[in-house]
Homo-oligomer: A and B are copies of this chain.
Amino acid sequence: MVVVMKREATEAEIERVAEKVREAGGEAFVSRGAVHTIIGLVGETAVFRGLELESLPGVDRIIQIGKPYKMVARALHPEPTFVRVGPAVVGRGMFTMIAGPCAVESEEQAMTAARAAKDAGASILRGGAFKPRTSPYSFQGLGRAGLEILAACREETGLPVVTEVLEPRDVELVATWADALQIGTRNMQNFALLKEVGATKKPVMLKRGLSATVEEWLMAAEYIAQRGNSGIILCERGIRTFEPSTRNTLDLGGMAVAQLESHLPVIVDPSHAMGHKDLVAPMARAAVAAGADGVMVDVHHDPGSALCDGPQALRPEELQALTKELHALATALGRQIG
């Protein structure tokens, strides 16, 4: 970390910064430039951030050089983390296909989608029982009944289940039924929820926030890891930009940066990123080629009757063709199917 002092900073102000750093166990090296004096800090970035040095008089700004996360940092934990979701595994060097309905609407609909996922060769079933919706007038999910349907789907297909949890007091319930807990985009910085899932033993799929930087995303993962749960799968699902022709902008560069910076697996959800099924297959292929550790897509037997995000859902036969193609591509690129 580097502290840039204001032009008019006094010696006493410079010394106060250096002292605060030393008290926290760090070292401070002062370089006096023609215009600015800068202070280089040696020690732990996460600790220095807690000092709130930017508030001190005479400080112009703080420049972060090290990374603020520790437990999820690849620099500190070079070995890749492999996350087990039931019998499936997600991790670097592998490729894991996740598929299922956006929302669980009925036992029949979910079961059809689950069978389609199984038949296509997917390893994990996705499906939402609790749905976060922009409008209070939209379908909000079946709740607990949806969880029971998902469990029945697992029973039938053998696929482990990942499903979203929306609030801290539902974590225990959802963890009882699901194999992995999903934290949705809108909740990436719902810190109470992050702490709660961090206290469980269940793997967590953490979606990137719509306007979260990669660093903020990893800091959100740090909240979970810090509570003792390191079974975290990161999921890139598009960020918000000015471009209106796709629902969001899929940031595969950000995905690749997350892989460089963290030992956690990083997967991609092209369905929610694009919002339109015609773009799901090209972006899924791109994700695999860019090195994503997995891909998650929506499937529905009759997208025209879907209660949530129908336009982005693949039909069972389309899912089958895509999964086959992605598995071939991943294999050709030296990846093991997870």
Q: Which residues of A contact B (CB under 8 A)?
A: 2, 4, 7, 16, 29, 31-36, 38, 40-43, 46-47, 49-50, 52, 54-57, 59, 63, 65-66, 68, 75, 132-139, 166-170, 186-187, 189-193, 210-211, 213-216, 219, 222-223, 226, 238-246, 249-254, 256-257, 260, 273-274, 278-279, 282-283, 285-291, 303-311, 313, 329, 332-333
Contacts and interface: CB of A to CB of B under 8 A. Distances in A.
A49 B139 CA distance: 10
A176 to B, nearest CB: 18
Contacts of A34: 42-43
A311 B60 CA distance: 9
Among A34, A168, A190, chain B packs the most CB atoms within 10 A around the CB of A190
Contact of A213 (B54, B132, B243): B243
Contacts of A132: 189, 191
Contacts of A304: 16, 55-57
A222 B135 contact: yes
Given A167-B192, A211-B240, A307-B52, A63 B63 contact: yes
A189 to B, nearest CB: 4
Contact of A136 (B57, B222, B274, B282): B222
Number of copies: 4
Contacts of A41: 33
Contacts of A250: 251-253
Nearest to A170: B192
Contact of A249 (B2, B50, B253, B287): B253
A66 B238 CA distance: 26
Contact of A211 (B36, B170, B211): B211
A223 B137 CA distance: 9
A167 B192 CA distance: 6
A40 B46 contact: no
17 contacts: A35-B66, A38-B40, A49-B138, A52-B310, A57-B304, A59-B311, A68-B135, A167-B167, A186-B191, A213-B245, A239-B241, A239-B242, A239-B243, A241-B242, A252-B286, A256-B283, A285-B333
Nearest to A291: B282
Given A166-B192, A290-B282, A134 B257 contact: no
A52 B239 CA distance: 23
Among A138, A211, A252, chain B packs the most CB atoms within 10 A around the CB of A252
Contact of A55 (B43, B56, B223, B311): B311
Given A55-B311, A136-B219, A285-B333, 13 more contacts: A50-B139, A55-B304, A135-B219, A135-B222, A136-B222, A213-B243, A213-B245, A243-B253, A246-B253, A246-B257, A249-B249, A252-B283, A252-B286
A9 B4 CA distance: 24
B4 A65 contact: yes
Given A31-B29, A167-B168, A286-B289, A138 B50 contact: yes
A59 B260 CA distance: 17
Contact of A137 (B49, B54, B244, B333): B49
Contacts of A168: 167-169
